[in-house]
Structure formats: structure tokens, C-alpha cells
Homo-oligomer: A and B are copies of this chain.
């Protein structure tokens, strides 16, 4: 087991990464002093519940915890206010009180949803992340929680740090391959924004990672979590540095929204977004190799890097204008400077974006 620490003063917490951890959940709960008298609510989805809910429930129960659970439908559409309300109902009916904990058992969808429930149930209760996707190495760290608004992604949320992250890498073995690829997209992102050597390592270990080789996976996830934790420790509430984590997300979020949160997986959308950011940087004078290398590593993982033909630029741009990153007719973008290093620019014009969209649509036609 590897342990990382997210340093946030009194809100600091550990990330445990290893095998067999879900079956030891009760032990970790006790060790972290989570209240036994108050019910614990596990939030999970209908893909994860049949696989891992019993294991966690059993472990917690054996340690003397009272457990209630709420299973939501799998998929991004569950990150809605409607489902949020359903989970709240389960929390109230389950008798959760101020000393209760809410557990997210699942991927980033369940994490973001359950996290916002934990942030706002009775104005805030304890929160524990038990990520079960590769993508969630990103989403489970850093305390950003949210649900989507029909018009824009992650629009309604909070900063609410977990008490701990219990990352059982064994659970990743049951992931569908499309989810594996999508999750690796955020891992690559962590290399691209922070550490060229790690980006290169990802490229060299593409096959091992796709094959879910435990050694490679353990190393890659630890690196990814560690980069995320470092960035968040410097800037918890995104006043500055933290924004670099949004590489690929300006366009990615727009694609998710216009796809009705069902067409693209988050990791797929930001893969296209990262390709677009690299292209934009090149159009602004950076070396062409940045775009080529970005696209090459992403394609290696079977991720999309061309713009989908079926959405016109107007729809994409309209969605971007609703994003948190739009201000005064200009867009904030994270752009690569070189592999492993990015900058935040706040003056990207709609024309530049239109050009990149057109160029990445072109790419699509050559495939």
C-alpha cells in the first residue's frame, strides 16, 4: 500500500492506494475516528453496487458501523439536482445526523455527486472517497464536488475535502475498456501539465496500462494522485495555479454539455480538448511537436483527438460561453508551453476557437 498526503492545514488527508482496501474499509474508518453512533451513507451506482457494495458494507458493519446505502443509475446524467435530491432523501430517511459520513463508492460521477451531498447535507458532514475508476484518481482528490446544470457542467457545487481517499486498485480490474481509456486521459493530463518524464512514462507504458498491469497501474495512479495533490495543496480554491488542472476542459466541458452528458465520456471529451489546446498553442506560435506529441500519446490510448463532425461550431461555442472560464467575450484556456508545462491565458478569442474547431474537424475526416 502506498500513502500520499494532501497538505491542506486542518483539512489535510491521506490517500491510500493499494489492493484489497475495500474489504478493510471498517478498519480505516475506525483509525480515522469516524463516528460509530451515526449512520454512514454509501452512495454508489448500479454498475458498482453489485460488484463492491457488499464488501464495503460488510467491512463497516463488522467494525460496528451502521450502514445505509443509495444506488443511483450509472452515468454522468446522475450528476443532476434531481438525483442529488434523491440522495438527500435517502440521507434523511436513513437518519444521518451531523456526525455521519457520506461515502462515495464509484467513479467520478458518484464522487462528485456524493461529495456535494456531503458538503450540503445539514450544511456539511464528513466525506470519504472510495474511487473505483482510473479517472477517479483525479476526481477523488482535491475537494471539488458538483452536479451539472442542463446548460453547463459542474455549475452547482462546493469545495469539500474528504477525510480520506481509499483507493482499492483491485477494483479497477472490472472496468470496461472504454472507461479504462477515458481514465487514462486524466493520467496523461497530469504528465502534460506538470512532468514531461511522467508523460513520457505514460507513453512507454501504454500497453501495460491498458492491460491493467497492477505494477504499472499502481505507479501511474500514485504519480497522478501525487501531482494532483501537490497542485491542490498550493491552491485549494483555484485562485491561481490550480487552474492548470483544467487543461482540455474548456472545450471538453462544452462537448459533454452539447452531447447531453451521454455522448462523450469525460475523459474522451477532455482528450479532444487537450488536442485542441495543443493546436491552439501551435497556432499562437508554439512548436508543432507539442501538438504532435500530445495527439500521439492520446491516440496510443485509443482516445479521440479529432472534433466530432455532428456538432457545429455554434453549438460548441455557445456551450463554452456558459462555462466558468468565459469572461468578456474571451475564454480562459490552459495551453501547453512544452510537454510537461502549461500556461493559463485569458485572452483566447472566439475566432481562434472557431479556427481550432475547424482544424480538428478536418483531422476527423482523415481518419
Contacts and interface: CB of A to CB of B under 8 A. Distances in A.
Interface of A: 37-38, 81, 84-85, 88-89, 92-93, 97-98, 116, 119-124, 144, 146, 149-152, 155-159, 237, 322, 324, 326-328
B158 A92 contact: no
B158 A158 contact: yes
Nearest to A324: B122
A122 B323 CA distance: 9
Q: Indicate how many identical chains form the complex.
A: 2
Q: Which one of A116, A120, A144 has the highest number of Cβ atoms from chain B below 10 Å of its Cβ? A: A120
A39 B37 CA distance: 46
Given A81-B85, A123-B144, A98 B324 contact: yes
A88 B156 contact: yes
A120 B158 contact: yes
A327 B158 contact: no
A81 to B, nearest CB: 5
A3 B345 CA distance: 42
The 4 closest A-B pairs by CB, nearest first: A123-B157, A92-B151, A122-B324, A120-B156
Contacts of A97: 324, 326-327
A237 to B, nearest CB: 8
A199 to B, nearest CB: 29
B149 A92 contact: yes
10 contacts: A89-B151, A97-B327, A98-B324, A116-B120, A119-B158, A120-B156, A122-B157, A123-B146, A123-B158, A124-B237
